[in-house]
């Protein structure tokens, strides 16, 4: 069975496409980042490339990693530049975070291959790149511009967790206590949802995506699966037993039965949802036949599911949990 990181490749293709159409659409280059809370400095952050010291409170922050801008906003810091990984347009973040920019608008920067001159022109004093490939060449170029917080050790290939990202950004902004508060809130709210649905505890779940290149299923370390795990679900053991090169494993269209679990969640990437539902073998997956599946068609829900930030988690609890309740009802 082919087990190449299909969804990583798909993410790369999509990121290039999105960044090509979103470069240079911001207007925040002349204003400093804002902060609602004074941080404690100097601050130190452990990363893949060593422990990085942030000597003083940053005034101009550029957020390049997947979800970095949303997370910075959670700390009351408004990036002057940011990458729009999920193609939101506008201010480059989901509707659950956009209002936190207020009247400011970040300059949008390419994702996989950022314009380093564009970043330098923003005159940042801190660059956040905590969730991405963890490429050393990219890091070397960024740190020549400003102090850069890259991925954590082991966080390569988009495997930075919500906990790691929130903690690192909180430390870099001199607000480690705020980071703990944000994470405690995520866990508290998820636990409340899990306690309200004891029938979900220990039930298996698969999270899969379908692209023009085929199927992929997400594995431990991915934000989508982690959201369901906080609600009490466990990873489909069949998928868990497969060796992953990144945050997903490839699944043949002829072997969709591998996706079967107590709950199967699937969503399309840059294709119509009908490309999933019209597949004969999809309809024959036992969970699908029994009505224990969700095909995400709402773009905001799909984006929140993929975002993996504290702000997105709240949005999912309000908007995605009702769909899970229908797919896995109380006995």
**Count of alpha carbons within 13 angstroms of residue 17, beta-carbon side:** 11
Model confidence band, residue 4 (pLDDT cutoffs 50, 70, 90):
very low
The separation between CA 232 and the C-alpha centre of its own chain, rounded to angstroms, equals 20
Determine the Cα–Cα distance for residues 8 and 66; give it in Å rounded to an integer. Answer: 13
Determine the Cα–Cα distance for residues 78 and 82; give it in Å rounded to an integer. Answer: 10
What number is the average pLDDT over the span 171-184? Answer: 98
Contact 5, 244 (CB under 8 A): yes
Determine the Cα–Cα distance for residues 291 and 328; give it in Å rounded to an integer. Answer: 8
Residues facing residue 204 across a β-bridge? 234
Model confidence band, residue 246 (pLDDT cutoffs 50, 70, 90):
confident
Model confidence band, residue 221 (pLDDT cutoffs 50, 70, 90):
confident
8-12, 35-39, 227-231: the lowest-pLDDT one: 8-12
Burial class (CB in 10 A: 0-12, 13-18, 19+), 144: exposed
* CA torsion angle 185 186 192 193 (round to 10): 150
Q: What is the pLDDT of residues 124-177, one digit of tens each?
A: 999 999 999 999 999 999 999 999 999 999 999 898 999 999 999 999 999 999
CA distances from 131 to 85, 151, 153 (A): 11, 6, 11
pLDDT at 26 over 80: no
Residues facing residue 205 across a β-bridge? 235, 263
Q: Which helix (H) or strand (E) holds 180?
A: helix 176-195
Determine the Cα–Cα distance for residues 266 and 296; give it in Å rounded to an integer. Answer: 6
Q: What is the pTM of this model?
A: 0.89
Full set of structural domains in the chain with CATH: 43-174 (3.40.50.1980), 185-327 (3.40.50.1980)
């Amino acid at each position: 069975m082919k087990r190449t990181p299909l969804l990583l490749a798909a993410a790369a293709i999509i990121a290039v496409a999105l960044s090509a159409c979103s470069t240079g659409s911001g207007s925040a280059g002349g204003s400093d980042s804002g902060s609602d809370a004074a941080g404690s400095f100097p601050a130190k952050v452990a990363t893949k490339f060593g422990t990085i010291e942030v000597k003083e409170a940053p005034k101009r922050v550029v957020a390049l990693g997947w979800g970095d801008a949303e997370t910075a906003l959670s700390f009351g810091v408004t990036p002057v530049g940011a990458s729009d990984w999920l193609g939101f347009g506008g201010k480059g973040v989901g509707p659950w975070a956009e209002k936190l920019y207020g009247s400011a608008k970040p300059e949008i920067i390419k994702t996989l291959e950022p314009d380093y001159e564009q970043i330098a022109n923003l005159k940042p004093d801190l660059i956040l790149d905590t969730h991405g490939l963890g490429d050393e060449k990219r890091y070397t170029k960024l740190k020549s511009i400003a102090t850069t917080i890259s991925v954590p050790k082991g966080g390569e290939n988009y495997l930075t967790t919500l906990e790691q990202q929130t903690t690192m950004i909180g430390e870099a902004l001199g607000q480690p206590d705020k980071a703990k508060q944000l994470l405690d809130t995520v866990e508290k709210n998820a636990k409340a949802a899990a306690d309200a649905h004891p029938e979900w505890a220990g039930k298996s779940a698969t999270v899969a995506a379908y692209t023009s290149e085929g199927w992929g299923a997400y594995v431990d370390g991915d934000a989508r699966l982690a959201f369901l795990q906080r609600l009490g679900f466990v990873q489909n053991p069949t998928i868990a037993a497969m060796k992953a090169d990144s945050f997903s494993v490839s699944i043949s269209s002829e072997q969709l039965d591998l996706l079967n679990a107590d709950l199967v969640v699937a969503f399309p990437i840059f294709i119509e949802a009908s490309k999933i539902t019209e597949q004969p073998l999809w309809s024959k997956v036992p969970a699908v036949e029994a009505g224990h599946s969700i095909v995400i068609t709402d773009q905001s829900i799909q984006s929140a599911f993929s975002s993996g930030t504290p702000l997105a988690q709240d949005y999912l609890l309000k908007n995605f949990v009702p769909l899970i309740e229908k797919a896995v009802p109380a006995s």
